[in-house]
Amino acid sequence: MPETRRLTDDERYDLAMVAAASERSNRPRNLIFIPFVLFVIASIVLVYAIFTLESGRVNLAGQESRVNNLVKMVVELKELEQSDAADDSSGGLGPINDFLSRAETYAAEAGLDKPAVPTTRRDRAEGLVRVRQVYSNVVDQSLPNLLDWVRLTQERIPGLFVHSLALKPAGDRGWSLDVTFARWEREGQS
């Protein structure tokens, strides 16, 4: 029978250290580290893609809005040109010299006091002028009266449309209206 000897504490400690080192070298650390790094990279790419997609959606919505506005303007211009062609006079694209008196008349019909004199702005584009009449802070107790005035003015003046409209409560005075009426006219006639 072979002779077996008993190991000393130091030898047992050395063997345990060698076994622990061998066990550590056999552990698959790379198999855990590599997927973790890939997961982090994929997460970063995913977040970037989501932000890029959302930015693209916002940009697309803005572009669609611009295109829709341009299409509306082209349709309005074609309608005005057709109404002008059907009417041998200057018709829908001719200047309206009595806009202020008409607007005051329609305000009285709607039950409003005489509105303040509007600010007039002109924008030129390819032989046409967009004339904008800007009324600010038209105040009345009755909201229907304010809206009737806007409706009457738009309906009864040929080619006129509401460019912008803002309503605000004016406390005990009722409602405050800011409205911009616009109309296309031939350049040189206005």
Mean pLDDT of 8-31: 84
Mean predicted confidence (pLDDT) in 169-189: 86
Average pLDDT of the residues in 88-94: 56
How far is 152 from 53, CA to CA, in rounded Å? 45
Whether 97 shows a pLDDT value over 90: the answer reads no
Please report which confidence band the pLDDT of residue 170 belongs to, taking 50, 70 and 90 as the band edges.
confident
pTM: 0.53
Share of the chain above pLDDT 70, in %: 91
Provide the 3-class DSSP secondary structure of residue 57.
helix
The letter for the amino acid at 17 is M
Of 10 and 81, more confident: 10
pLDDT (0 to 100) of residue 190: 47
Tell which CATH classification among 3.60.15.10, 3.40.50.1980, 3.30.70.60, 2.70.98.40 matches the domain 91-186.
3.30.70.60
For 27, what's the count of Cα atoms within 13 Å in the CB-facing half-sphere?
Answer: 9
The rounded radius of gyration (Å) of the Cα atoms in the chain is: 39
Residue type for position 10:
D
Residue 7, pLDDT score: 81
pLDDT of residue 173: 86
Alpha helices in the chain (DSSP H): 9-26, 29-86, 99-109, 143-156
The token pair at 153 is 């003015």
Other C-beta atoms closer than 10 Å to the C-beta of 94 total 16
Task: Please give the pLDDT value at position 88.
Answer: 44
Distances in Å between the alpha carbon of 55 and those of 2, 15, 50, 66, 156?
81, 62, 9, 17, 44
* CB contact at 8 A, 91 and 99: no
pLDDT of residue 90: 46
CA distance 79 to 61: 27
Q: Let me know the angle formed at the C-alpha of 132 by 131 and 137, rounded to the nearest 5 degrees.
A: 160
Q: What is the mean pLDDT of the chain?
A: 85
Q: What is the pLDDT of residues 124-139, one digit of tens each?
A: 877 788 899 999 999 9
